[in-house]
Chains A and B, each alone.
Chain A
Amino acid sequence: QKEVEQNSGPLSVPEGAIASLNCTYSDRVSQSFFWYRQYSGKSPELIMSIYSNGDKEDGRFTAQLNKASQYVSLLIRDSQPSDSATYLCAVKSRGSTLGRLYFGRGTQLTVWP
């Protein structure tokens, strides 16, 4: 059973702060990692992909991957109220055919002005 765990939150941060979202996964041979943002009532939107250990930055977003610890995180710098959403972590195993992803249940983030 491949599991992806996220703290369900809600995580509440003030505007301008750094929001830190965490995700752990059980399958050691996982190879691809994704963060999706889902606004209430909308479909998930891919915001970050990371494939190797270390940090990957894209604007205000930084994804961090540590395969040894089976841990991936998403940092949102200078958080804005528009960042308020549920963030889904998704993982693809190396042995997974056809691009099957395993999703966490998501962390709800609220950024208050």
Chain B
Amino acid sequence: SQTIHQWPATLVQPVGSPLSLECTVEGTSNPNLYWYRQAAGRGLQLLFYSVGIGQISSEVPQNLSASRPQDRQFILSSKKLLLSDSGFYLCAWRENRAPSYNEQFFGPGTRLTVL
């Protein structure tokens, strides 16, 4: 069965510091991968998605970036955090083969607080 991991689970960072969040998926190959952010009292915002190694698409311009160095690894980064980057960061995956029912499955998330 498939499993998705995220770490760290929680993070408190000062403004202006760098960020690296990691997501890995087990039990599948060549998945579609997604990064979402859920800010307090707001809905899920899609940040990045990837269909393969080195292939990243950005939904919203911001000071965040994403990379996919390996098939089942997805990394979210920032060089300098802003207060507005605080939120709950969720990684999700989806099967990338037919038949695909488009179901996305979420990891446990990383709660980031920028002070």
> Which of A's residues lie within 8 Å of B, judged by CB?
32, 34, 36, 41-46, 49, 51, 88, 90, 92, 98-101, 103-106
> Which B residue's beta carbon lies closest to that of A103?
B44
Show 14 residue pairs from A and B whose CB-CB distance is below 8 angstroms, ordered by the A residue: A32-B101, A34-B103, A41-B111, A42-B108, A43-B107, A45-B106, A46-B106, A49-B101, A88-B43, A90-B104, A92-B102, A98-B32, A99-B32, A101-B102
By the criterion CB–CB under 8 Å, are B42 and A44 in contact? no
Distance, CA A90 to CA B100, complexed state (A):
16
| Interchain nearest-CB distance for A49 vs B (Å) | 6
How many A-B Cβ pairs are below 8 Å? 49
Distance, CA A88 to CA B57, complexed state (A):
24
> Which of B's residues lie within 8 Å of A, judged by CB?
32, 42-44, 46, 49, 51, 57, 88, 90, 94, 100-109, 111
- Given known contacts A43-B108, A105-B42, is B103 in contact with A98 (CB within 8 Å)? no
| Interchain nearest-CB distance for A62 vs B (Å) | 18
- Given known contacts A98-B32, A98-B51, A100-B49, is B109 in contact with A43 (CB within 8 Å)? yes
Distance, CA A43 to CA B49, complexed state (A):
18
